Structure 1
Amino acid sequence: MVTPDRVCRAAGRGTSEGMDIEREGALAARFAELTRTLLDATTVAGALERIVVAAGQFVPSADLVSVTLRGSDGTFHTPVETEHAASELDQLQYKFDEGPCLDAAREPGPAVGYSGDLGTSASWPQFGPAAAERGYHSALATALTLDAKPPRLGGALNIFSSGKASFSQSDANVALLLATHASLALAHTRALDRAELQAEHLRKALDSRDVIGQAKGILMNRRGVDAEKAFDILRRTSQDLNVKLSELANTLATRHLDLDL
């Protein structure tokens, strides 16, 4: 694991180089546009696809881009990538349990994993040479933070290059900004998912309450009982038939003319 300032030294670039004003302004405009498109994303997959495309555009040396996500069981997977080769490199990291994306994803806060010469990497002795054999010699991974509360299941934005020492400090800074945008976008889309799920649950609860009310009214009319007694009949019949109360009530409400009550 290396910190962002060590990424710069490993890449052989000086911190004084930075980004010139023109490129900085262009990036600011592109990040503003990215923010807008990410806020328009309504699914996790849609947000991630926008991020990997942006990474390929914002980091000139990027040949492959992917996203690693960590599941609730602790395992890692790659939901999106620019090319299948990126997913293959990720799978090697999962197999060997080492690599830049795993180092970044396992950190609780902002983190960067980097190597400018994977073939001789001491940090990843299995993954590094395997990646180099496939023609990829530089890797840059930045952490995604998906959950604010423990266990803070996260992930990483992964960028690979066929060249050696391909990524500068500026590239690391851009990747960190992209990871931040990705984290916020994922939180936004997951919030939408939760809101939709809650709305659907509420709708079903209201529908269920309405149909139970209809069934109670039918029983009150047919049996000459009060609302409490009608509900008790529904509840006991539901238990005797081993069917959900709402399903029984729906059958009674929609087919009461066919049923012998």
Structure 2
Amino acid sequence: MELHGAPTVTDTVEAVVDFALQAVNCRHAGVVLAARGGRAEIGAVTDSVLESVFQWQIDSAAGPLIESLRAQEIVDVVDTSAETRWPDWATKVSELGVGSAVHVPLCIGVQSVGVLTLYGEQAGGFSADDLAVAHILARHASVAVAAARQEETMARAVDARKLVGQAMGILMMKFDVDGDRAFAILKRYSQDHNRKLRDVAQEVIDTRKLPG
């Protein structure tokens, strides 16, 4: 399963939904990720129709996807036409020709990573084998997404250090100060203007002067 070598989170979740379409008897597939602050964000979908249904659930904070994300539990909708827990959602997906849906949480231990959603064309569209494959895919996807996020975080940290170093060099030459003083200046501007240190450093590099 070519998930763990994907270079970014986006590439990883796109590989997940592509594999889901091939391995599971589903019409649509998508991944929603748990973002910072508890808000969900769409990671990848097989088509724009699914994206609109996902976004509606995120905006309304309701629906089986949100329930799976919050509870970190599988939410299986065997027949959308008979679904009473989320009638608005059921109406929307039924109109799109979706007869069944399963939402499988992505998590590492107690940490929520996201949800893998599979939409089937027929009611009762997912067999025991389909669900078993979805479970396996979700476990692999959880690890792969967490690893890709860590790689991206490390890359951003390295990039930020490089930018800060360059900005410090500019300030040291421009104002004839040492490294400690140059860093203190950047940090002060970051705090005073409520901006990330990385962004302040980038502006110093671009303009050769202090922001504001």
1:102-181 matches, cutoff 5 A: 102-108=66-72, 111-145=73-107, 152-181=111-140
Match of 2:12 in 1: 47
**What fraction of aligned residue pairs are identical, expressed as a percent?**
21
Match of 2:193 in 1: none
Among residues 56, 59, 67, which one is paired with 2:21 in the alignment? 56
Deviations 1:206-234 (A, max 9, x none): 44555566668xx6xxxxxxxxxx649x8
Among residues 143, 147, 163, which one is paired with 1:188 in the alignment? 147
Q: Which one-letter code corresponds to 2:14 in the other structure?
A: E
Give the conservation status (yes or no) of the 8 Å contact 1:38–1:185: yes
1:27-46 matches, cutoff 5 A: 34=1, 37-46=2-11
Matched residues, number: 193
| Structure 1 residues not aligned, in runs of 5+ | 1-33, 220-229, 253-261
Q: 1:210 to 1:127 in 2, by over 3 A?
A: closer
**CA distance in structure 1 between the partners assigned to 2:146 and 2:61 by the alignment:** 27
Runs of 4 or more above 4 Å deviation: 208-216, 244-248
Among residues 35, 41, 66, which one is paired with 1:77 in the alignment? 41
**CA distance in structure 2 between the partners assigned to 1:156 and 1:185 by the alignment:** 13
Q: 1:75 to 1:209 in 2, by over 3 A?
A: closer
Give the conservation status (yes or no) of the 8 Å contact 2:163–2:201: no
Structure 1 vs Structure 2 CA RMSD:
3.4
TM-score (norm 1): 0.62
Give the conservation status (yes or no) of the 8 Å contact 1:119–1:130: no
Give the conservation status (yes or no) of the 8 Å contact 1:106–1:154: no
**CA distance in structure 2 between the partners assigned to 1:166 and 1:245 by the alignment:** 54
Shift of 1:251: 6.0
Give the conservation status (yes or no) of the 8 Å contact 2:16–2:137: yes
| Structure 2 residues not aligned, in runs of 5+ | 190-199
Match of 1:199 in 2: 158
- Rg larger for: 1
Q: 1:251 to 1:96 in 2, by over 3 A?
A: closer
